[in-house]
A and B are shown apart, each in its own frame.
Chain A
Amino acid sequence: MFPLEIIFNIAAAIAFLIYWVAAFIVLYHLTRFGIGVQPKRLAAIFLFGSLIFSALSIVLFMNVNITSLIPK
């Protein structure tokens, strides 16, 4: 595998990891400290949206051929 491709894959993995750590913090705060119905609803919407956007990003990530972007 070309090194740039490895770097690209690692960068994407790190970006997803950071996103899901931050998402966990949001979900934890909403469900653990939220009072009443509103925080639970927000947590559900946030989780649903995060899954959709993440799936979309993964599909688009698979479509990118990073080696074709390097000028020869």
Chain B
Amino acid sequence: MIKEFFTIFRESENSFEGQKEGEKVLLLLRRHIFVILVPLTLFTLGALVPVVVGALFWSYLADNGWRELFLLVSSLWYLGFWLSIFYLLTIYTLNTVIITDRRIIDRDQHDFFNLKVSELHSDRIQDVSIHTNGVIETFLEFGDVTVQTAASERHFVFHQMPQPEKIKDLIMQITSSRHAGVKAAV
């Protein structure tokens, strides 16, 4: 039973809330890993603060009997640090674009209690374009994917997606398959 429980860390399906019966997830997308690595790296510098303070003032803290208090404050610092790191990772992880054989769902999680979900049916897609801006995006192969709908002048932009070319091709393949009345092969 315990073994079965741990399979969720290896074999969880890409199922989502509101998934229709028989609807197949073709692609689950998150922003490129570089997008989260930059703030995480800057944040990690914060982990050095207690180490630096301790190294500089250790003897002073010990002389005044503040060593235990300093260690307690440092551990609380690391608790806050741990929480902040995972706050960033949670927001990053929950920002997803789900491409199914029927529609595209864009989940924009701005905050824990600030979520915007947009949905786009593949038979309403008219045009897909990509935009790679700058040296980093070009070398690391990520960029914005813009999907234009037929319904109105509305368009959807998926920011900083990895391998935008592949995404564009897949969306176009799904759209043409829907128009032709056959299922997309991925």
Interface residues of A (CB under 8 A from B): 15, 19, 22-23, 25-26, 29-30, 33-42, 44, 46, 49-50, 53-54, 56-57, 60-61, 63-65, 68-69
Contacts and interface: CB of A to CB of B under 8 A. Distances in A.
A65 B90 contact: no
Give chain B's interface secondary structure class: helix
Interface of B: 8-17, 28, 65-66, 68-69, 71-72, 75-76, 78-80, 82-83, 86-87, 89-90, 93-94, 96, 98, 109, 112
Contact of A44 (B9, B15, B78): B9
B90 A64 contact: no
Interface centre among B12, B16, B65, B86 (most CB of A within 10 A): B86
Taking each of A19, A36, A65, which has the highest tally of chain B beta carbons within 10 Å of its own beta carbon? Answer: A36
Nearest to A63: B68
A72 B66 CA distance: 15
A19 B86 CA distance: 13
